[in-house]
């Protein structure tokens, strides 16, 4: 047998497939197996993407060295997907294959230095063992290692190292007959109490064995020492068995599954989806339903239907912050069938959940973006909740959109895809308009609650409470009113930290990140100025770093500052803050949300991570501190993002018996995105925004591709960008619009200068192959410190 392998050549990526002979002892290799292969003098990891009987190079092929996993980590479906997706997103297949695996399984080989010559073997460096180069820190030893390599006295070997540790527990098996144990018991000294207890337990519960150590210790009332002694005496046999880490362990005690009867709109939507499930149609549905219209209930019913048909379901949710409540609901309904995949899990948990799916032990998968690659087979339904969310697009290589991958998998599996949102992305809504997707609408709140009253506060004409310019008197009064009624408040400010500008009033100096073209944000709690892009920090200055003047001011605002202001204005108020800074630790999201749900706080103050999906019945007021943060971002979809954010956050108010109110503070009260968010009129916003996009030749009227060139040397980046532009102009249709190259809005990030070209086109036969050529030549120019990135259908163009 011959294996076709994509080899992980880190330095130079290529989609070339290499062939290897499969030796007799590795005949269990499959498509999707992770393998080790000889590659030149090295041993590298790769993935088997095909198997065949013959090859034109037969007899000259090298042998596969190793099949890494017991079960191939990738399914044939995923292997095939990797090829199509690499083509679509201008990435290399190896990046896609690795993206499909849980993080722990991606880079997992170590470099080991082994001595070759007799002289080398005598060196104290080796002390009889190979040396782990990854762990080498001693400068002298590193120099010696280099010398040995140069003189061919040692060589580097790659070792597979599975950093993903399986969790095990001890299990004890019996090794004698019951009668035998009775005989032993009779001969054990009466004062050997523990041994007697153990033997009694064995005789009494003979059929209940093998037993886990924890169980055994509890039930027989013995300790580890007794068990160890019993093993020595050959009464018991000990073995390690694998156990799964359960990321949902804390969820079990949560509320029981609510039973609801679907209303007419929900029933109508569900029946269309059900038909597609039964008939295995790869139809895409757009479920457009206002916040609180009961979309979740429709998903859950559709998943039940899928399971009843004997197929499995995949459900994507945008961000981890949304997951606790959604996961709770899914878990309440489907129990042990559920697996969860998102970056908030520990590596071990992720690895275990992933393997449960791969082994067919979980039938419902809920997860964030990368869960779209879950190795789930026999998929009968895919759901993408909040389909408009930008987090479904990966901003780094491979720049894929989970929606595109889901569509591919729906075709492959012959199953429907349901995209749900209160504010669908313009592209999806336009496709529904054209009939490419089927539009299903939920126009009423499921529990008959009215939408909250939304009021706009014009910050140009208000009195501010306190000495700062963040909180209007009106908003603070409304908060006081709720606190008096023991109701709760959600406040959103899409900016973390304390102040995002240090300005010198003497010389005008603004403190910026030395690596990026961005001002540093003050973080009062840590005493640091921080770059929110690259993480650079330095202490908060007392004087201007440029002119030493003491007249420095910290301008702008952030969640930390607003928290401090509120605590001053409302003494005794209990505030929970939720932003990147308070949610770094695993489990902190759930902790904050649980505490708020238990009314341990009056106000939940946070960035956009609190805008979506949360369902707290006692929240009757939502305040937006500034609607303007997302409005003037220089990007074609800034209005869409603003409308979406305001509508989503408004939906958090008044979800139960009590009616809700929303107050939006803004300096742009007349902007259409804000006005239409006030009336929560998605359809009108859609109509208006589509005209704006049409006039500006923007998506969804045009397809777009963004090409970025980055270099430490600004001139080199610009030159290469112009070269690419000339190449495009020569080969593309005259009606295709090619904009740029221009320095991107933030022209320098992490010490790299960026130049961008935007291609807008309607039909373009040559573009795909041209971009692939550009992608391949990008490999060549990497050595000159130039990086070229191609983003197909970018979510933002800044």
**Identity of the residue, 251 or 509, whose beta carbon is nearer to Zn ion in the bound complex:** 509
Tokens 């619009």 found at: 737
Distance in Å, CB of 296 to ligand ADP, minimum: 3
Q: Which does 640 bind (CB under 5 to 8 A by kind): ligand ADP, Zn ion, none?
A: none
Q: Which of the listed partners (Zn ion, ligand ADP, none) does 224 bind, with a CB threshold of 5 to 8 Å by partner kind? A: none
175 annotated ligand binder: no
Query: Which of 32, 73, 247, 292 is in the footprint of ligand ADP by CB under 6 A?
Result: 292
473 is a site residue for Zn ion (CB under 5 A): no
Q: Which does 447 bind (CB under 5 to 8 A by kind): ligand ADP, Zn ion, none?
A: ligand ADP
Tell me which of 209, 251, 412, 533 binds Zn ion, using CB under 5 A: 533
Residue 533 touches which member of Zn ion, ligand ADP, none, C-beta under 5-8 Å by kind:
Zn ion
CA distances from 166 to 33, 153, 243, 347 (A): 19, 37, 8, 11
513 sits near Zn ion (criterion: CB under 5 A):
yes
Sole window of 16-24, 443-451, 538-546, 579-587 interacting with Zn ion (rule: CB under 5 A): 538-546
| Span from 301-309, 503-511, 605-613, 729-737 in contact with Zn ion (CB under 5 A) | 503-511
Query: Collapsing DSSP states into helix, strand and coil, what is residue 603?
Result: strand
Residue 64 tokens, joined: 């596969």
The angle, 0 to 180 degrees and rounded to 10, between the axes of the packed helices 178-187 and 193-204 is 160
Supply angle C-alpha 417, 421, 425, rounded to 5: 90
Residue 295 binds ligand ADP (CB under 6 A)? yes
List 243, 547, 580, 746, residue binding Zn ion (CB under 5 A):
547
Note whether 350 and 105 are within 8 A (CB). no
Residue whose CB is less far from Zn ion, 530 or 563: 530
- Contact between 71 and ligand ADP by CB under 6 A: the answer reads no
Binding to ligand ADP in span 608-647, by CB under 6 A:
615
- Least distance between Zn ion and beta carbon 513 (Å): 3
Cβ atoms of residues 637 and 700 within 8 Å: no
Q: Does residue 531 touch Zn ion according to CB under 5 A?
A: yes
Question: Which of 63, 153, 257, 506 is close enough to bind Zn ion by CB under 5 A?
Answer: 506
Bridge-partner residues for 236, per DSSP? 174
597-618 as b/e: b if 16+ CB within 10 A: beeebbbbbbbbbbbbbbbbeb
Nearer to Zn ion, 504 or 717 (CB): 504
Interacting partner of 506 out of Zn ion, ligand ADP, none (Cβ under 5 to 8 A depending on kind): Zn ion
Q: Is 513 annotated as a binding residue?
A: yes
Q: From the CB of residue 535, how many other CB atoms can be counted at a distance below 10 Å?
A: 10
Q: Which does 168 bind (CB under 5 to 8 A by kind): ligand ADP, Zn ion, none?
A: none
Q: Please tell me the distance from the alpha carbon of residue 45 to that of residue 408, in angstroms, as a whole number.
A: 27
297 touches ligand ADP (CB under 6 A): yes
585: number of CA atoms within 13 Å, CB side?
4
Residue 370 DSSP code: G
CA distance 66 to 73: 14
CA angle, residues 266, 270, 271, in degrees to nearest 5: 120
Residue span binding ligand ADP (CB under 6 A) among the ranges 253-261, 477-485, 557-565, 760-768: 253-261
User: How is residue 368 annotated by DSSP?
Assistant: S
Query: Could you give the angle at the alpha carbon of 432 between the alpha carbons of 427 and 437, nearest 5°?
Result: 105
Strand partners, 285: 418, 438
Residues of this chain, 575-594, that bind ligand ADP according to CB under 6 A: none
In whole angstroms, how close is the CB of 384 to ligand ADP at the nearest point? Answer: 13
Q: Minimum distance between the CB of residue 429 and ligand ADP, rounded to whole angstroms?
A: 16
Q: Does 291 bind ligand ADP (CB under 6 A)?
A: yes
Short-list 597, 349, 353, CA closest to 488 = 597
Looking at 58, 346, 447, 549, which residue binds Zn ion (CB under 5 A)?
549
**Helix-helix angle 224-232:213-220, to 10 degrees:** 110
Which is nearer to Zn ion, 360 or 508 (by Cβ)?
508
Cβ at position 510, least distance to Zn ion in Å? 10
Count the residues in the chain: 798
**Stretch of 123-131, 540-548, 660-668, 724-732 lying at the interface with Zn ion (CB under 5 A):** 540-548
Q: Among ligand ADP, Zn ion, none, what binds residue 538 when CB lies within 5 to 8 Å by partner kind?
A: none
Does 260 participate in binding ligand ADP (rule CB under 6 A)? yes
Contact 181, 235 (CB under 8 A): yes
What is the separation of C-alpha 66 from the centre of its chain, rounded to a whole number of angstroms?
Answer: 31
CB atoms closer than 10 angstroms to residue 395 = 12
- List 75, 195, 283, 296, residue binding ligand ADP (CB under 6 A): 296
Q: Is 415 among the annotated ligand-binding positions?
A: no
In the list Zn ion, ligand ADP, none, the entry touching 504 (Cβ below 5 to 8 angstroms by class) is Zn ion
Query: At closest approach, how far in Å is the CB of 216 from Zn ion?
Result: 55
Interactions with ligand ADP, residue window 433-472 (CB under 6 A):
446-447
Instruction: Map tokens 């007959």 to a residue.
Output: 177
- Please check whether residue 338 is in contact with residue 248, taking contact to mean a CB–CB distance below 8 angstroms: yes
Residues 6 or more apart whose CB falls under 8 angstroms from that of 129 comprise none
Q: Which of 364, 285, 281 is nearest to 330 (CA)?
A: 364
- Find residue 479's DSSP bridge partners: none
Q: How far apart are CA 147 and CA 788, in angstroms?
A: 36
Count interface residues toward Zn ion (CB under 5 A). Answer: 15
Is residue 389 close enough to count as binding ligand ADP by CB under 6 A? no
Contacts of 391 (CB under 8 A, 6+ apart): 318, 319, 368, 369
Contact partner at residue 621 from Zn ion, ligand ADP, none, CB < 5 to 8 Å by partner kind: none
What string of DSSP letters covers 421-454? ESS--HHHHHHHHHTSSEEEEE-S-TT-PPPPEE
665 three-state secondary structure:
strand
Q: Which is nearer to ligand ADP, 326 or 374 (CB)?
A: 326
The site partner of 509 among ligand ADP, Zn ion, none (C-beta below 5 to 8 Å per kind) is: Zn ion
* Contacting residue, 72, 289, 606, 623, with ligand ADP by CB under 6 A: 289
Q: Which does 324 bind (CB under 5 to 8 A by kind): ligand ADP, Zn ion, none?
A: none
Taking the complex as a whole, the smallest distance from the CB of residue 329 to ligand ADP amounts, in Å, to 8
Q: Let me know: does 544 contact 505? Beta carbons within 8 Å.
A: no
List the end-to-end C-alpha distance of the chain, in Å, as a whole number. Answer: 50
**Closest separation in Å from C-beta 48 to ligand ADP:** 42
Task: Pick the piece of the chain touching Zn ion (CB under 5 A) from 145-153, 236-244, 535-543, 556-564.
Answer: 535-543
State the binding site.
504, 507, 513, 516, 531, 534, 544, 547
Residues that bind ligand ADP (CB under 6 A): 258, 260-263, 266, 289, 291-297, 446-447, 615
State the binding site for Zn(2+).
504, 507, 513, 516, 531, 534, 544, 547
């Amino acid at each position: 047998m011959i294996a076709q392998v994509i080899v992980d050549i880190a330095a130079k990526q290529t989609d070339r497939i290499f062939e290897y002979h499969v030796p007799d002892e590795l005949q269990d290799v499959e498509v999707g197996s992770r393998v080790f292969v000889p590659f030149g003098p090295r041993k590298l990891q790769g993935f088997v993407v095909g198997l065949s009987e013959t090859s034109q190079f037969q007899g000259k092929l090298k042998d596969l060295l190793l099949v890494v996993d017991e079960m191939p980590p990738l399914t044939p479906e995923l292997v095939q997907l990797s090829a199509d997706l690499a083509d679509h997103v201008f990435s290399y297949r190896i990046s896609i294959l690795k993206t499909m695996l849980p993080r722990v399984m991606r880079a997992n080989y170590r470099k080991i230095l082994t001595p070759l010559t007799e002289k080398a073997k005598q060196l104290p460096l080796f002390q009889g063992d190979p040396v782990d180069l990854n762990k080498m820190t001693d400068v002298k030893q590193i120099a010696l290692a280099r010398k040995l390599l140069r003189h061919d006295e040692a060589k580097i070997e790659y070792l597979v190292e599975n950093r993903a540790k399986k969790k095990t527990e001890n299990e004890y098996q019996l090794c004698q007959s019951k009668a035998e144990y009775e005989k032993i018991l009779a001969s054990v000294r009466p004062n050997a109490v523990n041994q007697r207890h153990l033997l009694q337990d064995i005789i009494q519960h003979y059929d209940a064995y093998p037993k886990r150590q924890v169980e055994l210790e509890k039930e027989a009332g013995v300790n580890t020492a007794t068990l160890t002694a019993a093993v020595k005496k050959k009464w018991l046999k000990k073995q390690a068995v694998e156990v799964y880490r359960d990321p949902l362990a804390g969820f079990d005690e949560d509320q029981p599954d609510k039973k609801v009867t679907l209303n007419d709109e929900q029933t109508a939507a569900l029946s269309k989806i059900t038909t597609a499930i039964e008939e295995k149609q790869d139809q895409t549905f757009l479920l457009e339903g206002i916040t609180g219209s009961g979309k979740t209930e429709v998903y859950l019913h559709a998943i039940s239907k899928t399971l009843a048909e004997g197929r499995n379901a995949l459900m994507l949710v945008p961000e981890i912050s949304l997951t606790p409540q959604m996961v709770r609901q899914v878990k309440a309904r489907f129990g042990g069938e559920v697996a969860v995949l998102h970056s908030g899990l520990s590596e071990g948990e992720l690895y275990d959940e992933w393997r449960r799916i791969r082994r067919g032990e979980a039938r419902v998968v809920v997860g964030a973006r990368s869960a779209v690659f879950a190795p789930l087979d026999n998929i009968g339904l895919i759901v993408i909740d909040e389909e408009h969310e930008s987090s479904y697009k990966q901003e780094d290589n491979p720049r894929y959109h989970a929606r595109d991958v889901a569509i591919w998998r729906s075709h492959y599996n012959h199953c429907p895809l349901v995209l749900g949102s209160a504010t669908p992305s313009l592209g999806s809504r336009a496709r529904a308009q054209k009939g490419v997707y089927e539009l299903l609408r939920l126009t009423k709140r499921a529990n008959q609650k009215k939408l909250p009253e939304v009021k706009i506060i014009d910050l140009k004409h208000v009195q501010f409470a306190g000495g700062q310019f963040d909180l209007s008197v009106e908003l603070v009064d409304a908060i006081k009113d709720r606190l008096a009624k023991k109701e709760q408040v959600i406040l959103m400010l899409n900016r973390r930290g304390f102040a995002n500008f240090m300005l010198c009033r003497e010389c005008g100096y603004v403190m910026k990140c030395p690596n990026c073209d961005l001002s540093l944000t003050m973080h009062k709690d840590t005493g640091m100025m921080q770059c929110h892009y690259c993480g650079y920090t330095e202490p908060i200055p007392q004087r201007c770093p440029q002119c030493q003047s003491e007249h420095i001011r910290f301008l702008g605002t952030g969640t930390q500052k607003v928290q401090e202001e509120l605590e001053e204005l409302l003494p005794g108020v209990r505030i929970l803050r939720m932003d990147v800074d308070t949610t770094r630790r695993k489990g902190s999201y759930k902790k904050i949300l649980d505490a708020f749900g238990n009314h341990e706080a009056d106000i939940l103050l946070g960035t956009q991570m609190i805008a979506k999906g949360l369902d707290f019945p006692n929240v009757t007021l939502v305040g937006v501190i500034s609607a303007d943060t997302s409005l003037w971002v220089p990007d074609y979809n800034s209005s869409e993002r603003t409308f979406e954010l305001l509508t989503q956050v408004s939906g958090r108010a008044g979800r139960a018996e009590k009616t809700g109110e929303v107050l939006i503070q803004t300096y742009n009260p007349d902007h259409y995105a804000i006005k239409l968010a006030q009336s929560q009129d998605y359809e009108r916003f859609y109509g208006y925004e589509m005209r704006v996009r049409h006039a500006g030749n923007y998506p969804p009227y045009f397809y777009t591709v963004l090409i970025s060139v980055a270099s430490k040397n600004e001139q080199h980046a610009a030159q290469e960008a112009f070269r690419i532009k000339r190449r495009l102009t020569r080969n593309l249709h005259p009606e295709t619009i090619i904009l740029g190259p221009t320095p991107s809005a933030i022209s320098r990030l992490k010490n790299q200068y960026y130049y961008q070209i935007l291609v807008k086109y309607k039909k373009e036969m040559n573009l795909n192959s041209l971009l692939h050529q550009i992608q391949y030549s990008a490999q060549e120019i990497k050595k000159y410190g130039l990086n070229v990135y191609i983003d197909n259908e970018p979510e933002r163009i800044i």
